Structures are given as structure tokens and as C-alpha cells.
Amino acid sequence: MAERLAGKAVADAMKEELTKKVEEIKAKGITPKLGIIRVGARPDDLFYEGGAKKTCEAIGMAYEVFEYPADVDQESFEKAVTAVGDNTEVHGILMFAPLPKHLDERKIRSLIPVDKDVDCMTLGSAAKVFADDLTGFPPCTPTACMDILHHYNIPIKGKKCVVLGRSLVVGKPVAMLLLRENGTVTICHSRTENLPAVCADADILIAAVGRAKMVTADYVKAGQVVIDVGINEDPDNPGKYVGDVDYAACEPIVDKITPVPGGVGSVTTVVLCKQTIQACEMQNGLA
Ligand code: NAP
């Protein structure tokens, strides 16, 4: 039976540490603050926003939601995003994407200052992540994967790490973070040949493919660590969520595995707060 790498234990330990850090910063007269930019009211965005607010409250951070109607025009929204970026009380910005189709998302993303870009919305942040410049923030989900590996003392150096998925939000940045820690990294995608065999060769397998229960028993091996990033509606149980890994099939084989729900997703909002606190420290010369 595999060790279950629960996200809650990771999130709780991080929250304890961040609470102390926020107290230290507040003692210097500064309150770290997250600015959340939301257009419209998509249920997924509202759900994530609720989690982010709860985490901010739990660790004593401030937050403010900047909410705009779904039909906001490009010019007004550009002004609004620029104003949030210029607001010296806001240290980190989360902007929900995708934006409605009528907005030029590429242009709007570029208006977020890189030093406040705590979820890697800008090309400037992505460049820093790829260049190992530690002043650039990776997207929260890849950082959450790394925080889980660190919390459970899973060695990365020299290990074969296979990342299933090559999106800019998860696959590519998590591959860079594993490489930064001297993992030997392979990135797989929809054109990869012999995919199950490539995945089964990994010491650490990160599944970020967006396909419910795609990773079956033939993708894994004994001794492996499996991090499941996927959040998909369960085709067999509408209304319930499952990962990219078929947990029931893989759990008896591998050494360690994250559950869905209760794995990576439980850590991402804490990472959002952690990166906002780091941004606050950098902006105030405290880092
Ligand atoms: P995405 O942009 O759709 O990318 C999926 C990747 O998987 C692509 O690189 C695609 O390859 C690859 N892929 C798709 N089907 C494949 C197949 N049959 N075989 C091999 N590779 C295949 O998805 P994403 O945004 O990275 O998200 C991935 C998953 O993570 C989703 O379930 C999403 O809901 C979840 N997620 C979770 C969190 C969290 O906090 N836990 C945050 C973000 C995302 P190609 O490039 O070749 O098309």
C-alpha cells in the first residue's frame, strides 16, 4: 500500500510558518496584501477565490477583490489592471484567466508588474522561471508540487522525473523547477511514443494532462512517487472530481501518491499567499 501524500499536512505546516512571517512583517508596519482581479463570476473562479480569501484570513494577510462585469471594455479594464498594479498596498496579484474573448488577454497580462506577478501571468515571470532567476514567481501549482516533494523529504537530485503534460501553467514550469533541483527531467505530451513505458521508467511521475484517470497501472512501477495535478470531473460519477491518475489502479503498485481531491489542489492557495509574502518582502527590501 502506498504512502498517501496528503496536501493538508503540507498546507498546515506552510500556514504555520507563514503566520509567523506575516506577524514579523506586520511588526514593521506593513501588511502583505493579495489583489484578486476577477472579470464576471465563473463558479470555478469564485470557488478558488473563496479558498484564497480563507487562506489569507487564516495567516493574517490582507486581500482585496477587484471585480469587473463580464462585458467590461478593453480600455477600462486596462486602466483598472494598471491601477491595481500601481497600488503600493497590493504586493501580489492573482488575475483569473481565461478572460472573456472580447478582451486582449495577452496585452492585459503584460500590464501586471512582474514583481507582483505571483501566479506567473506574464512572459517576464516565465522568463525568470526558465532562467532560474529566483525573483520570478512560478505558477502556484508547480510550486505546490515542489512543496509537497520537499515536505515529504522526497529526493529529487539525480532522480528520473517524468512530467506528463507541457502546458505553460503546469508541465513546463514544473519541469524547470525539477531541473533546478538537479532532477533528470523528461517532458511528455500527446505525441510522445511509448508513453506508458516512458512514465513507468520514472522515479517521480508528475501527471498534468487533464484527462480523468488516464494514468493506469501500466504507467507506473513499484518504488515510484506519483504527483497527480489533474482535476477532472469523474466520468463515472458526475459531480465528483478525480485526478489524471487512476488512483485505485496505481496506489497498490507505487510507493507514494497524492490523492485527488486532497493533494496538490489543497496546497495551491497557500502557495499563492507564500509568493505574495515573498513579493511583499522583496518590494520592501525585507528579503
Ligand atoms: P492543458 O493546458 O490542457 O495541457 C495538457 C497537457 O497534456 C498538454 O501538454 C497535452 O499535450 C497533454 N496531453 C493531453 N492529452 C494527452 C494524451 N492523451 N497523452 C499525452 N499527453 C496528453 O492542461 P493544464 O492546464 O496543464 O492542466 C492539467 C491538469 O491539471 C488539468 O486536469 C487541470 O484541471 C489541472 N490543474 C490543476 C491545478 C491544481 O491546482 N491542482 C491547477 C492547474 C491545473 P499537447 O501539448 O501535445 O497537446
Helix H, strand E, coil C: the string for the chain is: CCEECCHHHHHHHHHHHHHHHHHHHHCCCCCCEEEEEEECCCHHHHHHHHHHHHHHHHHCCEEEEEEECCCCCHHHHHHHHHHHHHCCCCCEEEECCCCCCCCCHHHHHCCCCHHHCCCCCCHHHHHHHHCCCCCCCCCHHHHHHHHHHHHCCCCCCCCEEEEECCCCCCHHHHHHHHHHCCCEEEEECCCCCCHHHHHHCCCEEEECCCCCCCECHHHCCCCCEEEECCCEECCCCCCCEECCECHHHHCCCCCEECCCCCCCHHHHHHHHHHHHHHHHHHHCCCC
At 287, the pLDDT band (50, 70, 90 cuts) reads confident
User: Does the Cβ of 260 fall within 6 Å of ligand 1?
Assistant: no
* Closest atom of ligand 1 relative to the 260 alpha carbon: 41
Q: Which residue has the higher pLDDT, 54 or 287?
A: 54
Per-residue pLDDT at 131 exceeds 90: yes
Give the chain's mean pLDDT.
98
User: Does the Cβ of 171 fall within 6 Å of ligand 1?
Assistant: yes
The predicted-structure confidence for 223-243, as pLDDT tens digits, reads as follows 999 999 999 999 999 999 999
> For residue 102, what pLDDT is reported?
98
Fold of 29-113: Rossmann fold (3.40.50)
In this prediction, residues 63-86 reach a mean pLDDT of 98
The predicted-structure confidence for 20-50, as pLDDT tens digits, reads as follows 999 999 999 999 999 999 999 999 999 999 9
Residue with CA at minimum distance from ligand 1 atom 31:
210
> For residue 252, what pLDDT is reported?
98
Cell reading at 106: 495577452
> For residue 22, what pLDDT is reported?
98
The domain segmentation of the chain, as residue ranges, is 29-113, 140-265
> For residue 76, what pLDDT is reported?
98
Fold of 140-265: Rossmann fold (3.40.50)
The predicted-structure confidence for 6-24, as pLDDT tens digits, reads as follows 999 999 999 999 999 999 9
Assess whether the region 29-113 and the region 140-265 belong to the same CATH fold: yes
The predicted-structure confidence for 148-206, as pLDDT tens digits, reads as follows 999 999 999 999 999 999 999 999 999 999 999 999 999 999 999 999 999 999 999 99
Ligand 1 site-directed mutation target among 190, 194, 228, most atoms within 8 Å of CB = 190
Per-residue pLDDT at 94 exceeds 90: yes
In this prediction, residues 262-282 reach a mean pLDDT of 98
User: Does the Cβ of 191 fall within 6 Å of ligand 1?
Assistant: yes
User: Does the Cβ of 229 fall within 6 Å of ligand 1?
Assistant: yes
- Looking up cell 531541473 gives 179
Cell reading at 34: 493579495
User: Does the Cβ of 190 fall within 6 Å of ligand 1?
Assistant: yes
User: Does the Cβ of 207 fall within 6 Å of ligand 1?
Assistant: no
> For residue 242, what pLDDT is reported?
97
Share of the chain above pLDDT 90, in %: 99
